[in-house]
Amino acid sequence: MSATILSGSELAKGMRAEIEAEVQAFVQAHGYPPAAAVIRAGEDPASVSYANALEKALGGRGLGFKLHTLPDSASQQEIVDLVARLNADTSVHGIMVQEPLPKGIDEAAVKEALSPEKDVDGVHPVNAGRLAQAAPVGRPPMVGPFFVPATPAGGMEILKRNKIKIQGKHAVVVGRSNIVGKPMALLLLRENASVSLCHSQTEDLPGMCRTADILCAAVGRASMIKGDWIKPGAIVIDFGVNFAGDKMVGDVDFEEAVQVAGMITPVPGGTGPMTNIMLMMNTVRAAKMAAGLK
Amino acid sequence: MSATILSGSELAKGMRAEIEAEVQAFVQAHGYPPAAAVIRAGEDPASVSYANALEKALGGRGLGFKLHTLPDSASQQEIVDLVARLNADTSVHGIMVQEPLPKGIDEAAVKEALSPEKDVDGVHPVNAGRLAQAAPVGRPPMVGPFFVPATPAGGMEILKRNKIKIQGKHAVVVGRSNIVGKPMALLLLRENASVSLCHSQTEDLPGMCRTADILCAAVGRASMIKGDWIKPGAIVIDFGVNFAGDKMVGDVDFEEAVQVAGMITPVPGGTGPMTNIMLMMNTVRAAKMAAGLK
């Protein structure tokens, strides 16, 4: 048996058209596009290429994009001042601060300087806290509006658009980063899954993985999760982006897993293409909120 | 075999002396005591008796305490104005808003009106978010200082002061409230447990519970968790406060569980007495932070 492939590339293609239509309608109504700003301090090569890809993605859909660069020598105050200026700029609806920040910069203070209403990648603690405190979906949320980090939001979109049942299922999330593992666990919980969070210190990781109806991998170690760690028929969502030589591979051993799982996201072409999509969706939403629309 | 009883009453007794000593030292250094304020709108009987108990507990240890009552007809603005006045009052270090608030009041907005530095019960989303984002204990936290809800903080204190190994263990938390279940899960995660969160929609709750090395119950249903849901030798932390007739019982069937578990908190006398202790600890800490001490 070979698993059904959950293609993020295909899904992203369809969603790009949705976003373009939304952006066009927004521009017609308001005379300006939803716009995102990216702050980068220094010239980390991965950050540079990510910003370029983002510019192309947003520009291609009609969204505004502006990159603000500071030198590697930028001070805390200079970075926070730039954040404050963009917070106050009504033509900017979403702000992302690229990591890594230069040595000696207090990353937490920079994140907390963001206006939560423009924090389209959900890194501000108010957004993390509202996600943690929000009631299950379908009930009144009991918290203010919030943004969710784009990568796990993209994973959830794959599950939902493929109509995969989450409610009551046992989801196991491997990895507990603030941008993928923990928010993914909280998102699955809001959809009424039972959720287990595992990590480097988990005593029997293969055993925990084997209990998963939905297995999410966000560890950052090439092909770590083996075929026999997967319950036959399970749904596997792989957030890993690793390189084995010059080949991009996920956290899951795809060749093995595809024989066991019921459905699986490939790497590349799985969760990856969804991240920019969700950033665009969040930017459109931020612009609508700023315009008093929702 | 009968489980070791983890007495919260005994632990609380010892900690009261610690708190008194800390409060005395603080008063000597600063000339005023750490002080908490409680806001209550309306006369919900459980809230009235809780506020009375809190006043006795804090007063008895030398902490300041002031109850601020508003009528059941209080408006959103009146409540938020009172919060703002207490935020600005430098003689007040901790503020708690009692629930339930009158009908029609936006509880989330009241919580967000609290100064996070005075939110000693950890209900503000900034505190929830910093808890969610904080690195594991022992590493630099990578977030600002935060307060944790008192009830799960008390449960953690029972585990830690009894030197129960958490790291690598599988902790199962049943119940996902914002004041117990979810923060307890995040606290256990910070201590490097693998953590599973279960709830009313979990498909095989007895089976999930049986996999727990540390089982935490925070459901609010009398004696729901049976002896045969517990792995022999497991640690059981019962946050339940329910009444069976006029007898106070937990969420765990104690008579059955005590035969199976390795250690168990009783109800009453387990996690309950620790809640006020942690509120006092948090109030002392808030006063120290306000005085620039930590």
B167-182 pLDDT per residue, tens: 999 999 999 999 999 9
Residue B258, in any domain of the structure? yes
Query: For residue A1, what pLDDT is reported?
Result: 65
H helix or E strand, kind and range, residue A277: helix A272-290
Query: Chain A contacts of B211, Cβ < 8 Å?
Result: 211
Residue A12, in any domain of the structure? no
A211 touches chain B (CB under 8 A): yes
Instruction: Read off the pLDDT of residues A59-99 as tens digits, 9 standing for 90 and up.
Output: 999 999 999 999 999 999 999 999 999 999 999 999 999 99
Are residues A109 and A43 part of one domain? yes
Are residues B178 and B74 part of one domain? no
Are residues A177 and A254 part of one domain? yes
**What gap in Å lies between CA B107 and CA B109, rounded to an integer?**
5
A169 touches chain B (CB under 8 A): yes
B107 touches chain A (CB under 8 A): yes
- Chain A residue closest to B136 (CA)? A176
Tens-digit pLDDT profile for chain B (294 aa)?
A: 699 999 999 999 999 999 999 999 999 999 999 999 999 999 999 999 999 999 999 999 999 999 999 999 999 999 999 999 999 999 999 999 999 999 999 999 999 999 999 999 999 999 999 999 999 999 999 999 999 999 999 999 999 999 999 999 999 999 999 999 999 999 999 999 999 999 999 999 999 999 999 999 999 999 999 999 999 999 999 999 999 999 999 999 999 999 999 999 999 999 999 999 999 999 999 999 999 976
A132 touches chain B (CB under 8 A): yes
Give mean pLDDT, residues A5-34: 97
Query: Are B107 and A211 in contact (CB < 8 Å)?
Result: no
Are residues A188 and A103 part of one domain? no
Longest alpha-carbon distance in chain B: 57
Query: Chain B contacts of A185, Cβ < 8 Å?
Result: 197
Are residues A173 and A250 part of one domain? yes
Query: For residue B294, what pLDDT is reported?
Result: 60
Are residues B156 and B95 part of one domain? no
Are residues B160 and B100 part of one domain? no
Nearest CA of chain A to the CA of B238: how many Å? 19
Are residues B187 and B102 part of one domain? no
Virtual CA dihedral for A96, A98, A99, A102, nearest 10 degrees?
A: -120
A179 touches chain B (CB under 8 A): no
Domain that holds residue B37: 30-115
Query: For residue A110, what pLDDT is reported?
Result: 97
Residue pair A70/A44 in contact by the 8 Å Cβ criterion: no
Query: Are A132 and B128 in contact (CB < 8 Å)?
Result: yes
Query: For residue B293, what pLDDT is reported?
Result: 78
Are residues A94 and A195 part of one domain? no
**Quick check: A273 pLDDT over 80?**
yes
Are residues B111 and B50 part of one domain? yes
For tokens 């007809």, the residue is B73
Residue B120, in any domain of the structure? no
Q: Could you give the number of structural domains in chain A?
A: 2
What's the ipTM?
0.96
**What gap in Å lies between CA B162 and CA B120, rounded to an integer?**
24
**Confidence tier at A144 by pLDDT (50, 70, 90):** very high
B48 touches chain A (CB under 8 A): no
Residue B141, in any domain of the structure? no
Predicted TM-score of the model (pTM)? 0.97
Residue A125, in any domain of the structure? no
Q: State the CATH number of the domain containing residue B238.
A: 3.40.50.720
Residue A138, in any domain of the structure? no
Are residues B97 and B156 part of one domain? no
Query: For residue B260, what pLDDT is reported?
Result: 98
Query: For residue A294, what pLDDT is reported?
Result: 60
Residue B127, in any domain of the structure? no
Residue B290, in any domain of the structure? no
Are residues A165 and A109 part of one domain? no
